[in-house]
Structure 1
Amino acid sequence: MEESPLPLPAGPPGIVLRSYSGSTFRFDPGALCLELLPTGGPGEFQRFEVLHAPGDLTDWAARSRLTPTPLLEVSDAEVADARRLRDALFRVTTARAHDAPADPADVATVNAAAAHAPLVPAVGPDGERSWAGTADGTRLLATVARDAVELLTGPFAHRIRACSAGDCALIYVDTSRPGRRRWCSMEHCGNRHKVRTLRARRSEEG
């Protein structure tokens, strides 16, 4: 029987990122799959790579909106798979944010990851959510990929956006009611925009 997409539990809103200036801010991309993107990326974004070893992928899972954190057994090969899936997701969602066609090879990578069995939720002895069966890197990536499929084919697909800051490449899905979100985070790029606008206004007045 075909396994249905995993309904993700509601976790804390977003993940904590560190900017190039050293300050930290909370970034809520609105979807589990988009939380994987800040771990690195293709091309020029390789310099931000943080997924080097199995422990790096388990650390990311602990910071993600997956709750409770699954006890993962991750191999080096699965870390490489995670980087491959992330890079494909980065290109696919960036293309969608700019109303451009996605590379079929990247779409195939997402679909291939989604075809594996995902993490399986269960009710624990204490009545709380837990995870059944083996929780390995492949199941984790299948869960991420299935979340991406739901996002890319769902009602918010047209709201996948790139941060409006020219020097920020973070991708998010705007789930706000008015649909007017412009920034990855108001406390980061939104605040920088306000500061620049204020300085420009004062300069003109001066």
Structure 2
Amino acid sequence: MATDDMWIWDGGRVCLDFTNTLRYRWRTAPEETLRNPDDLALWLQRAGMLAPGIQDPGTTAVLTSGRRLRETVDRAVLAVADGRVPLSGDVTALNRSAAQAPRPALQIVIADGRLEPAAGMSVAADAAAALALIAQDAVDLLLSAEIRRVRVCGADECALRFVDRSPARNRRWCSMSRCGNRTKVRLHQARARRSEDTSAD
């Protein structure tokens, strides 16, 4: 069973955190963190998509469906972020899945002295409905201006997806504390080795 430290929550959107459950996509054999239905149910609970204490985590078929949705979201998001139109089959699959999402009751909040719709996502009663909420989040992202801020981590051995919300829109890593610092240390060590080699000549 996967553990919390297997999952990274730096995507900025639940649909991107979900795509990041397949780690090291650049490898010939990426690392799967959703190995069984219990892993999927635990991830969905940690993401706030699935009500805690669900006794039936879902079936192998739901897990297969979740993995398929994950790859559909990934292809569609990367296509649109790159200025391309996603595959029509991916659009159909996302729409079909998002249509199964439970409909939350519309709520309002007072912001700056005026009424606005409250942001929020339903909590599903089962894994299949929670996957539909992820599809709904992906559809929302694809239609938003934020899609142009989706990035792939620039670290050589990462490739996690995230939304760049930095003011200058120049974030390079999924996390400065993880990939950013590692990259800086590696570059510093490489410069130091080159300097030593030059001094030895």
TM-score class, shorter-chain normalisation, is 0.7 to 0.9
Q: Deviations over 1:69-128 (max 9, x none)?
A: 474742332222111100111222233344444222222221211111336479xxxxxx
Equivalent positions of 1:165-184 (< 5 A) are 165-184=155-174
> Which whole-Å CA distance do the structure 2 matches of 1:43 and 1:186 have between them?
20
Change over 3 Å in CA distance of 1:28–1:68 after alignment to 2 = farther
Residue 50 of structure 1, CA deviation:
3.1
Letter of the 1:181 counterpart: R
Question: TM-score of the superposition, structure 1-length normalised?
Answer: 0.71
Q: Which amino acid is 1:95 matched to?
A: A
RMSD (CA atoms): 3.4
Structure 1 Cα separation of the partners of residues 39 and 105 of structure 2: 23
TM-score where L is the length of structure 2? 0.73
Candidates 144, 148, 153, aligned match of 1:163: 153
1:63 maps to amino acid: R
1:103 maps onto 2:87 in alignment: yes
Residues in 2 aligned to 1:130 and 1:143: alpha-carbon distance in whole angstroms = 8
- Whether the aligned pair in 2 keeps the contact of 1:96 and 1:160 (CA below 8 Å) is no
Per-residue CA deviation, residues 147-177 of structure 1 (Å, 9 max, x unaligned), is 1111111121100111112332211111222
Gaps of 5+ in 1: 1-14, 19-24, 123-128
Match of 2:38 in 1: 55
How far off its partner does 1:16 sit? 5.5
Number of the residue aligned with 1:22: none
Deviations 1:5-44 (A, max 9, x none): xxxxxxxxxx9544xxxxxx95411001111112228896
Larger radius of gyration: 2
Equivalent runs, 1:97-136 vs 2, <5 Å:
97-118=81-102, 120=104, 135-136=125-126
Aligned-partner Cα distance in 2 for 1:70–1:64: 14
Counterpart residue number, 1:40 = 22
Question: CA contact under 8 A between 2:49 and 2:122: conserved in structure 1?
Answer: no
Q: Structure 1 residues 59, 121: closer, same or farther in 2, change over 3 A? A: farther
How is 1:137-148 mapped onto 2 (pairs within 5 angstroms)? 137-148=127-138
